[in-house]
Structure formats: C-alpha cells, structure tokens
Amino acid sequence: MARIEGVNLPAKKRIEYGLPYVFGLGLKTSRDILNKLKIDFNKRVKDLTNEEIGAIQKEVSQNYKCEGELRKEIMLNVKRLQEIGSYRGLRHKKGLPVRGQRTKTNARTRKGPRKAGSAVALKRAVTKK
C-alpha cells in the first residue's frame, strides 16, 4: 500500500487518480508529477515499486505544499483576516458565506440547518386593545 504525506492511497485506483487523495494535490498536479518522474498514468497504486513510491514522496514533499502544512497555512490566513477585522474575516467568524453569495435564501451549507421557530409561519395582524 502506497503512503504519501501520511495518506494511504487506494490500491486499486490508477496512480493518476490516486494521488489527488492527498489534500492539496489535484489531477493536474498529479499528472505533472507523474510526467516529471516518467511514471505511467495507467499503473495501479498496488503495482508501484518502492523506488517509484519514494520518488513520488520526495517530489511531493520538496516541491508542493499539501496535507498538514497546507491546512495550517489556510487556517493562519483565515485567522489573520479575523484579527485585522476585515469583512471577509467577520464573515468567517459568523459562519456566513465569504465570497458575496446571497443569504436571504440558500447558503444552507455555511449556515447549517434551519432553526426551528425562527421562520414566521403566519404573520398575525396586531390587534389593539
């Protein structure tokens, strides 16, 4: 089983599609790495030799930010935005969409499930006594 940057790659997948399981590596980056190392895209992860796995590991660790290092950088960027009090930082803090999406409807992914009782089902006319 190939293990790269602490991630076990799925053994039955082609290496081209197995590498993107590492956070920070996409399909394009995966293909770039394999082209550079002259490894066949169609090779399965389980069929890789130890030398090939070592070469991929070395290439990824030297030239790409991924997994813990990338997650830490993203977290620090968000924290910096919050500390300086920018609009984007406030949106992160409140758990609302950051990139200008509407929130009157939709935005359920960021806001979470609807709160029970917060929606006004029937607006009643105010009666004066």
Q: What residues make up the domain containing 33?
A: 3-63
Domain total in the chain:
2
Same domain assignment for residues 80 and 118: yes
Q: What is the pLDDT of residue 125?
A: 67
Give the per-residue SS3 of 42-64: CCEHHHCCHHHHHHHHHHHHHHC
50-86 tens-digit pLDDT? 999 999 999 999 999 998 899 999 999 999 999 999 9
36-51 tens-digit pLDDT? 999 999 999 999 999 9
CATH code at position 59: 1.10.8.50
Query: Left, alpha or beta for 67 (phi > 0: left; psi -120 to 50: alpha)?
Result: left
**In the 8-state DSSP scheme, what is residue 125?**
P
Task: Match 């990338």 to its residue by tokens.
Answer: 70
pLDDT above 70 covers a percentage of the chain that reads: 94
The reported pTM is 0.74
CATH code at position 102: 4.10.910.10
Same domain assignment for residues 91 and 121: yes
Same domain assignment for residues 55 and 104: no
